[in-house]
A and B are shown apart, each in its own frame.
Chain A
Amino acid sequence: MSEQTIQLGHGGGGLLSRDLIQREIVSRFGDGALKGLPDGATLPVPAGRAMVFTTDSFVVQPLEFPGGNIGDLAVHGTVNDLAVCGARPRWLSLALILEEGLALTTLRRVLDSVKKAADDCGVSVVTGDTKVVAHGQCDGMYVNTAGIGELMDGFELGVGRVAAGDHILVSGPVGDHGMAVLAAREGIRITHGVTSDTGPVHRLVQGVREWAPHIRFMRDPTRGGLASVLNEVVEGQATGILLRETDLPFSAGAKAAAEMLGVDLLQVASEGRMILVCAPPVSEAILKVWRGMPEGRGAVKIGEVTATKGRVILETITGGRRLVDVPRGELLPRIC
Chain B
Amino acid sequence: MKYIDGFRDPVVAAGIRARLDAVAAGLQAWNRPVNIMEVCGSHTMAIARYGIRDILPKNVTLISGPGCPVCVTPTSYIDTAITLAERGVIVVSFGDMIAVPGSSSSLAGCRARGGTVEIGYSPMRAIELAEAHPDREVVFLAIGFETTTAPVVAMLELAIRRGLRNLSLLTAFKLVPPALTALLSDPEIRIDAFLCPAHVSAIIGADAYKPFVETWKVPCVVAGFEPLDILYGILGILEQAACGEAAVANLYARVVTAQGNVHAQSLMAKYLEPVDAAWRGIGVIPASGLGLRPEYADYDAGRRHGVVVGLGAENPACACGEVLKGKQRPPDCPLFGAACTPDHPVGPCMVSSEGTCAAYFKYIVN
Contact = CB atoms under 8 A, between A and B. Distances in A.
A323 B363 contact: yes
Interface stretch (A82-90, A150-158, A311-319): A311-319
A63 B218 CA distance: 54
B interface secondary structure, majority = helix
A318 B227 contact: yes
Interface residues of A, number: 25
B193 interface: no
Contact of B54 (A256, A264, A321, A328): A321
B53 A320 contact: yes
Nearest to A260: B121
Contact of A319 (B8, B17, B121, B364): B17
B4 A259 contact: yes
A252 B95 CA distance: 25
Nearest to A186: B121
Contacts of A256: 4
A246 interface: yes
A255 interface: yes
* Most chain B beta-carbon contacts within 10 A, residue among A186, A318, A320, A321: A318
A246 B49 CA distance: 14
B365 A323 contact: yes
Contacts of B13: 317-319
Contacts of A317: 8-10, 13, 50, 227
Contacts of B343: 328-329
B239 to A, nearest CB: 19
A261 B9 CA distance: 22
Nearest to B124: A187
Interface string B341-360: 01100000000010000000
A329 B342 contact: yes
Interface string B1-30: 000100011100110010000000000000
B231 A325 contact: no
Interface in A244-268: 246, 252, 255-256, 259, 261-262, 264
Contacts of B51: 314-316, 318-322
Interface in A298-336: 311, 313-323, 325, 328-330
Given A256-B4, A262-B353, A320 B364 contact: no
Nearest to A255: B4
A316 B17 contact: no
A329 B99 contact: yes
Nearest to A182: B121
A261 B52 contact: no
B364 A318 contact: no
A256 B362 CA distance: 22
Given A317-B10, A318-B17, A318-B50, A328 B342 contact: yes
A316 B227 contact: yes
Interface in B33-63: 48-55
A246 B5 CA distance: 10
Contacts, number: 71
Interface in B72-99: 95, 99
B365 A319 contact: no
Given A261-B121, A329-B99, A319 B4 contact: no
A263 to B, nearest CB: 10
A192 to B, nearest CB: 13
Contacts of A261: 121
A63 B353 CA distance: 29
B362 A325 contact: yes
B343 to A, nearest CB: 6
* Most chain B beta-carbon contacts within 10 A, residue among A262, A315, A320: A320
Contacts of A186: 121-122
B54 A320 contact: yes
A316 B46 CA distance: 11
Contacts of B14: 319
A329 B99 CA distance: 9
Interface in B315-366: 342-343, 353, 361-365
A321 B54 CA distance: 7
Given A316-B50, A317-B227, A322 B10 contact: no
Nearest to A244: B10
B231 A322 contact: no
B4 A316 contact: no
Nearest to A262: B353
A323 B54 CA distance: 12
Interface string A175-188: 00000000000100
Contacts of B54: 318-322
A322 B121 contact: no
B105 to A, nearest CB: 16
Nearest to B342: A328
Given A318-B52, A319-B14, 13 more contacts: A186-B122, A252-B4, A262-B353, A313-B365, A317-B9, A318-B17, A318-B50, A318-B231, A319-B13, A319-B51, A321-B51, A322-B50, A322-B364
Interface of A: 186, 246, 252, 255-256, 259, 261-262, 264, 311, 313-323, 325, 328-330
22 contacts: A186-B121, A256-B4, A259-B4, A261-B121, A313-B365, A315-B51, A316-B51, A316-B227, A317-B9, A317-B50, A318-B54, A318-B227, A319-B10, A319-B51, A320-B52, A321-B365, A323-B364, A323-B365, A325-B363, A328-B343, A329-B342, A329-B343
Q: 4 closest pairs, A vs B, by CB?
A: A320-B51, A320-B54, A322-B363, A317-B10
